[in-house]
Amino acid sequence: MNYPQGVQPLELEDKDGEQNNTPVIHEEVVNDLLMHLDPHKSTGLDGIHPRVLRGLARELTKPLSIIYQQSWSTGEVPDDWRVANVTPIYKKGWKEDLGNYRPVSLTSVPGKIMERIILSELSRQVQGSQGITASQHGFMKGRSCLTNSISFCDPTSG
Global pTM value? 0.69
Q: Which long-range contacts (CB under 8 A, 24 or more apart) does 66-73 make?
A: 67/110, 68/25, 68/30, 68/113, 68/114, 68/117, 69/22, 69/24, 69/25, 71/114, 72/22, 72/23, 72/25, 72/118, 73/22
Could you read off the pLDDT of 39-74 as tens digits, one per residue? Answer: 999 888 889 999 999 999 999 999 999 999 999 888
Could you read off the pLDDT of 3-41 as tens digits, one per residue? Answer: 555 544 545 555 555 555 677 889 999 999 999 999 999
- Residue extents of the structural domains in the chain: 27-127, 134-158
